[in-house]
Structure 1
């Protein structure tokens, strides 16, 4: 449950991490960028069966998260489309990859963009960037007395395990945010805008989060609340070798292969795959045919020539940001070739 949203003031000295206003001068394009603390409680879940069923493990754990909102300054120019991005955490910094790839279209069409911090491993760099702004962010582990298993300590997952926090708080955060954005509560940051469709998107690890969300959470009765949570889904570069865990204690668990892809989608689901995922990451092994089945509305687009990371989306966008240089976290290209792929 989201108990409160609090807008974080923007000043010359304090502004959002990797601010699109600073990179793109959004205000000159008729857009406004705002950031909010999101306070609330979330359940932590655990696996109940091999095909994605979950049950509650811990009830109502408190958290403080953040969201970033980019919307037309003139509410009348809003398209009615709301794009929610699961911000990518893989590099231990906030990379709003789908915003980077799509901002020209969003701004041209008048779409609203909402990015949500999806994993607490990125908080450390945000605090280093601006401790006063981000020091209150917290995803505290509600079961600190329960140690990690020896196997989990040995494998380490993506290297982002930390007993002080709990990644499994995210699923309720995401569902509750969707319902807040749809509703008429006074604390809804886009309440004054037209909101016809709310979409969920993410790239790479965050694209894989969409698989887990649909397979395990979107159609739970307490999530759907009698209606659809999101109106459609776009997974970009989803890494199918990643079985996204329900909670961090299950990191590296031997999940059923079906949980590395989306198995059910009652709303349109589009998967975009580059050569990187289909080649190096062998996504072709679990490819699925396009479907118009009411329980599986699915399309996959394989982008020949495109790569998982690109020069534009992973390097050029950040423009040698001195703040990211200061915290020693300016993204750099680590592909097979010296120069990043600049294919669209």
Structure 2
């Protein structure tokens, strides 16, 4: 449950991490950027079934998280669509990959963008960037049981070296659900209350795309989540590392999940998957491919982008414009690949088209 949302003042000396306003001058598009602390309580879950069924492990853990919102200054210019991105945490830095791919179209169409911090492994760089602004962020591990596995063995199996007894990333699932329902309602806490959103879409790139898959398989259709409707109106997964089943809590990182959790098994709202050659050739994503479908319980489309790669100059390097703040904290994204010249395939054009497809299919179902 979200108990408070507090806007964080933006000044010349204190501004959001990776601020799009500083990179793009959003005012020229009629947009404004705002950042908020989100405070509340969330449950931690555990897997109890082969198909990803979950139950509560720890109840009502207090947390403080952050969201970034980019919205039209003029409410009348709002399209009715909100795009919520699960900010990618893989590099231990907040990277808004789907925003980078799609911001031109989002700004042109009048959509609202919301990025939500998805994993506390990024806190260290946020605090190094601006301690006063971000040191209050908190995802505590109230269980604090010892891990029943060796950390080094967990890393050898391919897990990220971000397992930490001090925090619990499993709080995220309720954070995401509660944010979506807040945006749909008339609560005074709703930062978009004046806009009255009609459609709310969920998106994510790479690891965050895998978060989408787990959310659909384990959470989106639980009675407590969907209530009397759908929590999200559509889903758009980009560059998804589908073989990577996201654990619902960090104590499950070494679980051997069913292969069925590496793919979407059920989805009543439009789900768009867009893959580059990197995921299909290097992370075995082709083996988890599903057939396109218009069935009411499997609204699914997949698109493979020939010639593209997971990281490109456009979506990983150029956007940041040699940001001196990222240089200061020694985390400016750099292209690392096997070729001397980095891939500069304009895949952002196709990803914008994928977002358009998701919207059209959502409208079709709504009618």
Q: TM-score of the superposition, structure 2-length normalised?
A: 0.92
**Match of residue 273 from structure 2:** 271
Extract unaligned runs of 5+ from structure 1.
Answer: none
Are the equivalent residues in 2 in contact too, given 1:152–1:252 (CA < 8 A)?
no
Equivalent of 2:222 in 220, 223, 227: 220
Report the equivalent of 1:304. 306
Equivalences for residues 31-180 of structure 1 within 5 A: 31-144=31-144, 146-156=145-155, 157-180=159-182
> Contact 1:333–1:339 (CA<8 Å) still a contact in 2?
no
Cα displacement (A) at 1:241: 2.1
Instruction: Tell me if the contact between 1:311 and 1:339 (Cα under 8 Å) persists in the aligned partners.
Output: no
Q: 111-120 vs 191-200, which deviates more?
A: 191-200
1:281 matched to 2:280? no
1:27 corresponds to which residue? 27
| Higher alpha-carbon deviation: 277-286 or 77-86 | 277-286
Equivalent residue for 2:194, pick from 184, 192, 195:
192
1:92-127 CA-partner distances (Å, limit 9, x unpaired): 000011000000000000000000000000011000
Matched-pair contact (CA < 8 Å) for 1:275–1:303: yes
Contact 1:152 1:251 in 2 (8 A): no
Q: Distance in 1 between matches of 2:271 and 2:313?
A: 27
CA deviations 1:189-230 (Å, max 9, x no partner) are 111114111000000000010000000000001111111000
Distance 1:342 1:194 in 2: 38
- CA shift, 1:260, in A, is 1.2
CA RMSD of aligned residues (A): 0.9
Gaps of 5+ in 2: 347-367
Deviation above 3 Å: which 4+ runs of structure 1? none
Preserved contact between residue 184 and residue 196 of structure 2 (Cα < 8 Å): no
Q: What is the match of residue 233 of structure 2?
A: 231
Between the aligned partners of 2:283 and 2:299, the Cα distance in structure 1 is 24
Shift of 1:339: 2.6
Aligned match of 1:250: 252
Query: How many residue pairs end up in the alignment?
Result: 343
SS in 2 for 1:331: coil
User: Matches of 1:150 and 1:172 in 2, distance apart?
Assistant: 26
* Inter-partner Cα distance in structure 2 for 1:252 and 1:265: 27
Instruction: Please give the secondary structure, in 2, of the residue aligned with 1:124.
Output: helix
Question: Distance between the aligned counterparts of 2:206 and 2:340, measured in 1?
Answer: 21
Q: Distance in 1 between matches of 2:14 and 2:268?
A: 42
Match of 2:328 in 1: 326
Question: Residue in 1 aligned with 2:296?
Answer: 294
Contact 2:243–2:288 (Cα < 8 Å) also in 1: no
Aligned-partner Cα distance in 1 for 2:147–2:19:
36
Larger helix percent: 2
Q: Could you state the TM-score of these two structures normalised by the residue count of structure 1?
A: 0.98
Structure-1 residue corresponding to 2:318: 316
Alignment partners' CA distance in 1, 2:160 and 2:54: 22
Q: Distance in 1 between matches of 2:255 and 2:310?
A: 25
CA contact (8 A) 1:310 1:342 kept: yes
Shift of 1:252: 2.6
Supply the distance in 1 between the matched residues of 2:88 and 2:149 (Cα, whole angstroms): 28
Given that residues 291 and 299 in structure 1 are in contact (C-alpha distance below 8 angstroms), is that contact kept between their aligned partners in structure 2? Answer: yes
Q: After TM superposition, give the deviation of residue 340 of structure 1 in Å.
A: 2.1
Per the alignment, in what secondary structure is the counterpart of residue 118 of structure 1? coil
Correspondence for 2:5: 5
Matched, 1:342 2:341: no
Separation (CA, whole Å) in 2 of partners of 1:83 and 1:336:
33
Q: Distance in 2 between matches of 1:201 and 1:340?
A: 26
